[in-house]
Structure 1
Amino acid sequence: MPRLMLTDKTWDLLSRVMYLTGRIYKKPEHRMTLEGILYRMRTGVPWRDVPQEFGRWSKIFRRFNLWSRKGVMAEIFKFLSSLHDPDWFFIDGSIVKAHQDCTTIRNSQNEAIGSSRGGKTTKIHLAVDSGGLPIHFEISGGHVNDIIHGESLLDGISGTAIVAADKGYDSETLREFIRCRGAKPVIPRRSNNKTGNHDIDWSMYRLRHLVENAFLNIKKYRAISTRYDKLARNYQAMVALAFSMMWLPMWVG
């Protein structure tokens, strides 16, 4: 039997969240279906190579595709991340290599795949809380600049004291956006900026590694560190599931 990822406690929590969405019927076989999805996320194997112990691969893929279309994975992540600590926010982006098989669709305009010197890539834009746990993320093509998603990552924030980011987010417009929401921006300026960095809280900036640690945490899953999914919503659902796995220990102890 392949290694499983869900304990009785974690499945009990996830199943209740899934059924609360109102988009899934309560069926006992859903546990093994989710285990099959997690196996594929962890190993990166083609869907056809998911072990038979989890059920027919075609059934597992159809359910994953259906749950992705209904936004079930996103709802799970949204529910689990509601426990976040809003004192500090850290934002960053990370590039993911897109496998050649996921770039063969006819209309790739809105599939969040970009071309650069590194080839075909996707980028994950992420905001984490004071404990380094994910709060909100977005998917784009790998060629998209981090600053493009700066405001949308922070949209709706409240009760936050500090927002920290690297020089890729050096923008007075973004700093003012953060200040208008009652938070202090900790974003270093580029070397050619005449204002300088005399006002930067470097002790807080050093904690920015928390968002980088979150990327390291999910990139241990091979279907996250390399994008195999042709559809952007399917890859986004897989990333949401990976971030949800980070939250589970906070809920079940």
Structure 2
Amino acid sequence: MLRDDQWAKMEPYCLGKRSDPGRSGGDNRLFVEAVLWKARTGSQWRDLPQEFGEWNTIYKRFNYWAKRGVFERMFEAVSDEPDMEYAMIDATIVPVHRHGHGAKGGLEIRPSAPRRAAGPPRSWH
């Protein structure tokens, strides 16, 4: 999970801090750790461990923060941290089947028995 020095760099960018007007978020650190857990595991939101809270609430909050660019600002704040590399995912490290790259080949359908020479299929009789 997050170290205290990493969290100290990220915390000022969180929405819903005590110093912000209006409703404040619950535990921002726990929420960010839930998002990082999701990114590390690649699991669905529904599989989020209950210790992080209700998955749907966390998902809605994640969407809200993402639309407002919070995670981009947090990433910029900790981008000098080599320990945060585990949270980065891009196409260079995600394996794709060769057909996903546009390679030729693929499934060839071969008849298992020779076709009948003439006439409609038997099911038409």
TM-score in same-fold range (> 0.5):
yes
**Mapping of 1:104-119 within 5 angstroms?**
117-119=98-100
- Whether the 8 Å contact between 2:10 and 2:74 is mirrored in structure 1 is yes
- CA distance in 1: counterparts of 2:29 and 2:57, whole angstroms: 13
Which residue, 7, 12, 18 being the options, matches 2:3? 7
Distance 1:12-1:28 versus aligned 2 partners, 3 A rule:
farther
RMSD over aligned Cα atoms: 2.8
Cα separation, 2, equivalents of 1:34 and 1:76: 10
- For 1:43-82, what aligned pairs fall within 5 Å after superposition? 43-81=41-79
Residue 77 (structure 2) pairs with residue 96 (structure 1): no
SS of 1:64's partner is: helix
Change in 2 beyond 3 A, CA 1:32/1:76? same
Distance 1:97 1:67, change over 3 A: farther
Residue in 2 aligned with 1:137?
none
- Greater fraction strand: 1
**Counterpart residue number, 1:41:** 39
Question: Can you list the C-alpha shifts for 1:49-99, whole angstroms capped at 9, x where unaligned?
Answer: 10110010001111111111111111122233479xxxxxxxxx726357x
Question: For the residues of structure 1 that align with 2:80 and 2:39, how far apart are their CA atoms?
Answer: 24
Unaligned runs of 5+ in 2: 18-24, 82-90, 103-125
* Aligned mates of 2:77, 2:5 — CA distance in 1: 16
- 2:110 aligned partner: none
State whether residues 31 and 52 of structure 2, in contact with CA within 8 Å, keep that contact through their aligned partners in structure 1: yes
The amino acid of 1:96's aligned partner reads: V
**TM-score, normalization by structure 1:** 0.30
Runs of 4+ in 1 over 6 A off after TM superposition: none
| Matched AA of 2:16 | Y
Say which one has the larger Rg: 2
- The answer to whether the Cα contact below 8 Å between 2:34 and 2:52 also exists between their aligned partners in 1 is yes
TM-score normalised to structure 2 length: 0.56
Letter in 2 for 1:25: G
